[in-house]
A and B are shown apart, each in its own frame.
Chain A
Amino acid sequence: MSEQEIEKTFPNLLVSGYLITSPATPEYNCIAWAANDTDVWWEPDLLNLSFWPSGIPRIYSLDAYIKAYERLDYAICNTDDYEDGFEKIAIYVDLNKQPTHASRQLDSGKWTSKLGQLEDIEHNSLDGLAEYGTIAVIMKRKI
């Protein structure tokens, strides 16, 4: 896949700025990448094809995704501003309030995302991926 394809799908990235940081792979998705996991595809799919933390409802709800990240010691917070000593994630939802994407904040204050089956990118702003929807929740954990 190419920069051209990424920029066609996510035109805001051209404005806010981004950098490709990995090869494309279908082996993990953004939900896994936000959780620092590159071995498994995380999703509560109903055919039980994907990994989903045991005991967390296997449904596409924001609450289920929040619970999944709470397992990793993330807690809901109020701002996406960088805070020293914390790692933050942002969960995007579509118009039906179903989670579509997650990004993780880097030490630089920028964000990193896995774009579906495409590459990982570093992006300057959460707005760069507006095609995934709106930010529903920010979570953070101590590092």
Chain B
Amino acid sequence: MNPPVATGAPDTTGAQPLLALREFHPFEAHGARFLYMVPSAGIFRMDDAGCAILDLLAEGPAELDAVVEALSARFEVDRILGTVHELTEIRAIGDVDAPKEQVPNDLPPADFPLNTMVLNVTNKCNLACTYCYEYGEDKIVDTAYGKQPKFMSDETAEESVEFLLQESKDQPVAHLTFFGGETLLNFPVLQKTVAYARRRAAEEGKRIEFSLTTNATLLKPEIIEWLADNQIGVTISIDGPKPVQDGLRVFHNGKGTYDVVLPKIKDLLARHRSRPIGARVTLTQKNMNVLEIFRHLTEEIGFWEVGLAPVTTQEHRDYAITPESKDAMLLQFEELANEWLECALRDEHHGFSNVRDTIEEIHKGVSKAYGCGAGLGLMGVATDGEVALCHRFAGSEEHTIGNVVDGVDREKQGRFLVDHHIASKTDCHTCWARPICSGGCYHEAHVNYGTSSHANLHYCTWVRSWTHTCLEIYGALAEKNPKFLERFDA
């Protein structure tokens, strides 16, 4: 007997598969219903028939005939069939027995370019903030008595620039961020490094963009002039109004810093107009009034944008944010996010950068294999030139993947990329927010679980709630002011 011979005719009489819902996250905005597809991160707007089909299948799997029969009084048969077909194509529905999609374990190409290098020009700081991950109770590296020099030398900084130029491969633009400790404690090296990097980048036909983070205590007119003239992007670490700032961000003698930094920040904002200046707030159990902090920093001080991040620490510390406070914090985030939406609907700026960043990722439909670019497109360099996953791990031997002279240890980096891939984080595989979160910050994981490859399970609920809020905002913009979203196209 011969093997079966195909006829080429489409199957119209075969057994009907049982249709069931597959993986997506539904959300609504302005009365419209959307699907956030997982793991592709595509967003589709549903019509009435699509909604009806999904509602029907939400009650349980059904054969196509049963779907058509149940909905034929409301919709034409062709429309039902067409919608079922499209829902199947985007994988919102499918055969009930079809296996769940595997998380692909595709590693980045070996020649992935370095985009951002964070240079820890000093690990010394003139402040003693209790929650500091570098000097506080959760520190990884012995910054006070460790083997690293307190300040990066000119030579190491120049070698780092060469490292960045080489590792950025054929990218025309690379980013160099100065970090600390308190960055401005090593101002002489900043000046020399920027001049050197400009010259070397020009020789290589590239451009380097510069930025730094500072606590603002050491700003003075000549430094502000230099920052403005050199178009250095500046982020100020500041926690809010005087009582908040003075409670947490203090000098070594315990004195608060608010009165010192306020006039300096105002000078900076007045003089430095070439790049927008942002504030970076660490939220702790002791400063939870997000709305008050945000208003103070934007309306009273005049920051262009404010990013707020919950403190990284173990849960038993007295400044660790309690679960109840996390809920309250989320409500305030949502209030600010809705303000941001109101502004966006009028094509106006609102400085809440947390929502802006997430909306951009939603618009592009990023589906991340890694929580962030650390160890891949972003690396941190310690004062001695050792290259770590990121600035938060700078100086930690366990998290070092090379040095600026000899380059990246590809074997070590390869192991890191396998261990930290979303495919290895099985806890994340059932979470709809994984395209955006992908397990979260490695440093946060290290502090909470003792290993950077662990998924950050302690903030899952929070991330899902926040992502849902941002999806609703995105949907509202797509309905009411889709033109606004074009600014995220690039």
Are A and B physically bound partners? no
- Chain B interface (Cβ < 8 Å from any Cβ of A): none
